[in-house]
Amino acid sequence: MNIDVGDYPLFESPIVVAAPDLLHELADAYTSTLVGETPQMERFLFGYVPIEVFDRIFSGDIKETSGLMWLLHLSGYFGGRWLRGEIEIAQPTAPLTLVSIEPNIANFLVTTEKAERGINASCSDDETVLNYSKQSLYNTPAKSEGSQPIQGLADNFGYNKGYLLEILARPPEGCNSPEEYQINGEGLFHCVYASPKLKILPLLTEVQKAVGISDSKYVSLLKDLIPLQEIAEPRGRSVWSSGLSVQGFPQVAYDQLLDVSSSFLETVHATGLTMIESVIEENADQARRGSVADAAMTIWLSAYMEGLLNGKGDKVIPKFK
C-alpha cells in the first residue's frame, strides 16, 4: 500500500531521516489487519504507526532509530494539523485560530538535540545510560535565560493522564465517551486501560504493583515523583477545560482524539515504568530501550505541537493511493 505523504516540514538531521520504505511496510501490515474495511489514514498514521514504533523500541529493535523517529515526526505533525483543522471547523472563533507559528529549523534543532541525548545515552556505557534513565524521571530546570525547562516522565505522565481524563469527562454535546478509551487508577505511573495497545505494558505489571507498595525498594522514587505527577495532572486537565474544547466535534473526530491521546499516555506510562525498574534493578539494557523511547516521545510531541500551532494553508493529511 503506497502513501502520498504530501508537504510537511523536515530539516536535515541524523536523528530524523525519511524512511518511506518503512512507512509503506507498516501500511501493508496495517491494511492486512482490515477485513472488509476501508483503510483510514487517521487510524493508521496517528494510532497504528506510533504503537508499532514503540512496540519495536521496547522489544529492543533500536539499532536503526532515525527512520522510527521520522515515522513519529510524520505522525505527530499531521496529527497536530488534523486536530487544528477539526478545531477550526468546530469552533471557528476559538483562541487557537488566532495563533499561527510556522515550523522552523531553530525549533527543530532544539527538539532533535534533546532527542539526541536519549539516543546517545542508549549507545553509551552502563553508568551513563543508567544516569540518563534516572534523570529522565525528574524535571530539569532551564539551563539558561530563554531556554525551556525539560518536563520529566513523572510530570509528563500526570499531565497526559489529566489531559485524557478531561476529554473523557466532557464529550461533545450529542456524543459519548466510548468504553474502549476509559481509564482509571491512582498512584505513581498507574493507569488501567479498557483496551490497552502496547505489548510491553502487561510485562510491566509486577513493577506497577511494586511501585504502589509504600515499603518496597521503590519507596525513595515514589516519594520524589508522586508530587511531580500530582501537580501536573490538573495542568493537563486545564488544557481542555480553560483553553481548548472538543465541543462541536463529530463522534468520529472525538474518537480519533481519544485514540491518539490514549496511545500517547500508554507510551509515557510504559517508558516511566521501564525507567524506574532499570534504575532500581540497575538494568542498563532496559535503560537503553527506555532512553530511545524517551527520545521518541520528544520527537512525537514536538511535531504534534508544530502541526497544531501552524495555521497556514489547508489542514490536509497524507492519503493512501
pLDDT of residue 61: 82
Answer yes or no: is pLDDT of 146 > 70: no
The pTM for the full model equals 0.94
Q: Cell 515526526 identifies what position? A: 73
pLDDT of residue 147: 62
Mean pLDDT for 148-160 is 90
pLDDT of residue 67: 96
What DSSP letter does each residue of 117-181 carry, written as one string? Answer: HHHHHHTS-HHHHHHHHHHHTS-B--SSTT---B--HHHHHHHHHHHHHHHHHSPPTT----GGG
pLDDT of residue 190: 93
Q: What DSSP element (H or E) covers 169? A: helix 153-169
Answer yes or no: is pLDDT of 242 > 90: no
Task: Determine the Cα–Cα distance for residues 195 and 187; give it in Å rounded to an integer.
Answer: 20
For residues 45-57, one letter each, b for 16 or more C-beta atoms within 10 angstroms of the residue's C-beta and e for the rest, the string is bbbbbbbbbbebb
pLDDT one-digit tens code per residue, 157-198: 999 999 999 999 999 999 999 999 999 988 999 999 999 999
Length of the chain in residues, anyone?
321
Answer yes or no: is pLDDT of 225 > 90: yes
| Residue 184 bridge partners (DSSP) | 192
